Structure 1
């Protein structure tokens, strides 16, 4: 029993090395790692990752896995995650959001500039900035310009609420999962304030939602000057049962969690890499300046910044979490080699070891910011290597039909952030040459939460 708990503790604090050890030892076969109260089976070959991707939802369920990992949301806001819920917000992310990223880019870029000016002011002298805190605030403001629009996206109370909600979802979900199933609702009520966060959010959103509903009642679904944002898209798509202020607020807060948590981690890693390897800055500046001077700021111009895209993709490859594509078996599942995974078992793809395998990437252990921006690539090959394209050897966004539906938004924001930084700031590590140490937490490679970076106005 003691050894079992030691294994769980080791996975929680050293999941990357543990999964790498299994990957090296079992050479493409299945292996398992211990989590509290159950094992997690790891898939490590391209063939089995493809079988994982192709499996039906009634065989291997992403939703069921998320319900366990985000236990606090599942208990307090069950209409969003449980299998009988209406996940219409996912279709909105794949359709309305992705289609409107170009149209909404002027507002998004405006918010990026405003957020940086307030959170990392342009000063002549070097200024210390806590990277994770600054990035989380900038991500939150920029995403909410699309989610709820201005001026609410700039409201300090709304921003503090969405950041607190996102943090509570992660922390409480991990703690609640340690309790036996029959105690989890009690633990959730004692450890989380998600319902209080929803009530808080309703105070902000109720006037907005009610005003828009009055316009719909009076002028119809497509009234003049109707805001083009997530609130409108949700109201248009929601069934009558889902149109209450409470239900819409719940969805908006949960989508904020999805946008803020992973994007903050990814971009904080990228900033640390940029500051630790500053020789990337000049080529990035040259590319961004040339394109912006010729075409201005737009999503189309961002899409032409191949070195920028490559740097962010390499950062996600190099600083990958241990696993991806997590599923829960709904029933016994048999792989093509005859391996049977029993019902109610977690299963996931090995991510970090695949990203660092020399068979998949040349010099895989070396950070090469322009790895995916080879000037000799054809345009077709260049598209294949974009940040948002998933494949069995690149899994930060998952892979297949359940790949992250918000990845295009995340990529758009991160490219906008990085382009703005290299054009307007000088950046360096507080301790030059020493990249802040990352930390493994239950499978995630978390960038240093307190490390500071040095910023100043760009010196010409």
Structure 2
């Protein structure tokens, strides 16, 4: 016990030391940062304060407002944001088609994801999100997920409860039941993701030339390595076994996983080239898949429950009627076709995402090499580019009463023969709905996330009523820079369905 207390005190002291060191040399970094981010684009939100880290603090506290300001004032211009972890620019919608069509070799969503989570230091490097990982996710079938939702859900804080369920269910689809049932698996998945997020947040606050020092000092990096080591030690025997089976076929096309039994692990092995077919690389990619699938889906389902509970009597009855129509009391064997027939549920989820997206910026890319837009604007190598998707979705030019939550908005649009049907499904995209990205590098895991979300919402609606605690309103999300995080402590009241 004394050892644990001392460890906790050491970690607290270490965190204080990290912050102190950053502040002490912050003044030196300001001029360096301003030189690095010199630009010919319109710039919004740049602070002139000489206080250490004024720009960083301004971005993390007011990032959402700065993006909104840029969209309102300069929606037809290329604008640089005051993000301090990277040179970041947002583009007008007229560039959406050409940017979405750019190949990985010029503008990469994988590199943008790695950069966002400071992958150089947090182990979420670009290789985790490479071609074999994306191909594996695209190929994995989702029709059997319904058999994996055997969960005794309890009325506790929404986000932690959903995180636990999605982590366990997601890991089952990724590595199979033998691994996910082991006691360490759930803690490992959530612990790794939590510490990656914390480490990335600290490192984003730190100028690049100081990051090696902070990398050594912050405890989160050591915890990340601990979780990676434990995962590899446990999963390596399974990976070696699957690789040996894969190598038994001289024609590797014959080893293609059987769809109804395959897990992400099997698809990763199938798509990885021979020189990347090692337990270390496969385990690394599995960690990346688990990280991506778990937390974005958890946040979305949490927001869905908040919006359901805030107006349960209005939205729940038509959703329950649709569930009864297409699946009745079916416990197993729910298929992707069943889910796709539920237009009201699909619309509800898309409307929740429209008003509570995963981030303020969409269609994120990192320029792998310099390139030129059709209008002659030059985008330098290494620059982060995106579109202000959250604010485009709230623009009255895209939707009638755009700032009002209307659960069945997209169902009505899909039924309207005079409406362009492109992009109206939850997993699809168009200019008014860019939250999964757009074009050739759109999020490959959106189908898995959609299936998990729908199955869990169906389970909850079939068995529970819900409401907000007396006198409370739907909780606001937490805004950090361009990130949007649902309230992780908020509790919703549940009871057995009456």
TM-score by length of 1: 0.87
Q: Larger deviation: 269-278 or 194-203?
A: 194-203
How much has 1:173 moved relative to structure 2?
2.0
Q: 1:381 to 1:292 in 2, by over 3 A?
A: farther
2:127 aligned to 54, 74, 80, which one?
80
The residue aligned with 2:395 is 357
Alpha-carbon contact 2:117-2:124 (below 8 Å) kept: no
Deviations 1:42-86 (A, max 9, x none): 11x32122232133444433333333222245664657259xxx5
Q: Does 1:233 align with 2:267?
A: yes
Q: 1:403 to 1:215 in 2, by over 3 A?
A: closer
Alpha-carbon contact 1:202-1:249 (below 8 Å) kept: yes
Q: Distance in 1 between matches of 2:108 and 2:249?
A: 42
The residue aligned with 1:124 is none
The residue aligned with 1:430 is 469
The residue aligned with 2:197 is 170
For residue 76 of structure 2, give the secondary structure of its aligned residue in structure 1.
Answer: coil
Q: How does 1:356-375 map to 2 (within 5 A)?
A: 356-374=394-412
The residue aligned with 2:485 is 446
Q: Distance in 2 between matches of 1:436 and 1:37?
A: 29
For residue 208 of structure 1, give the secondary structure of its aligned residue in structure 2.
Answer: helix
Q: Distance in 1 between matches of 2:369 and 2:243?
A: 43
CA RMSD of aligned residues (A): 2.8
Q: 1:432 to 1:88 in 2, by over 3 A?
A: same
2:95 aligned to 24, 48, 58, which one?
48
> Which ranges in structure 1 are unaligned for 5 or more consecutive residues?
122-126
Alpha-carbon contact 2:396-2:402 (below 8 Å) kept: yes
Q: How does 1:20-419 map to 2 (within 5 A)?
A: 20-36=68-84, 38-43=86-91, 45-72=92-119, 76=123, 78=125, 80-81=127-128, 87-94=131-138, 96-97=139-140, 100-102=141-143, 105=144, 108-112=145-149, 114-115=150-151, 117=152, 120-121=153-154, 127=155, 129-191=156-218, 192=221, 193-213=223-243, 215=245, 222=255, 227-278=261-312, 279-293=314-328, 297-320=334-357, 321-374=359-412, 376-378=415-417, 384-419=423-458
Q: Which of the pair has the greater relative contact order for Cα pairs under 8 Å at 6+ separation?
A: 1
How much has 1:300 moved relative to structure 2?
1.0
For residue 316 of structure 1, give the secondary structure of its aligned residue in structure 2.
Answer: helix
For residue 140 of structure 1, give the secondary structure of its aligned residue in structure 2.
Answer: helix
For residue 372 of structure 1, give the secondary structure of its aligned residue in structure 2.
Answer: helix
Q: 1:63 to 1:229 in 2, by over 3 A?
A: closer
For residue 35 of structure 1, give the secondary structure of its aligned residue in structure 2.
Answer: coil
Q: Larger deviation: 348-357 or 135-144?
A: 135-144
How much has 1:319 moved relative to structure 2?
0.9
For residue 415 of structure 2, give the secondary structure of its aligned residue in structure 1.
Answer: coil
Deviations 1:424-459 (A, max 9, x none): 111111245511121101211110011111112111
For residue 436 of structure 2, give the secondary structure of its aligned residue in structure 1.
Answer: coil
Q: Distance in 1 between matches of 2:104 and 2:311?
A: 42
Q: Distance in 1 between matches of 2:99 and 2:306?
A: 33
> Which ranges in structure 2 are unaligned for 5 or more consecutive residues?
1-29, 31-46
For residue 328 of structure 1, give the secondary structure of its aligned residue in structure 2.
Answer: strand
Q: 1:366 to 1:75 in 2, by over 3 A?
A: closer
Q: Larger deviation: 426-435 or 236-245?
A: 236-245
Alpha-carbon contact 2:257-2:270 (below 8 Å) kept: no
How much has 1:344 moved relative to structure 2?
3.0
TM-score by length of 2: 0.80
For residue 326 of structure 1, give the secondary structure of its aligned residue in structure 2.
Answer: strand
Deviations 1:209-247 (A, max 9, x none): 244445556798759999521122222333333333222
Deviations 1:10-44 (A, max 9, x none): 3212322221111111232222220115542111x
Aligned residues: 438
Deviations 1:241-294 (A, max 9, x none): 333322221111111011012111111111111111211011100000111129
Q: 1:239 to 1:189 in 2, by over 3 A?
A: farther
For residue 325 of structure 1, give the secondary structure of its aligned residue in structure 2.
Answer: strand
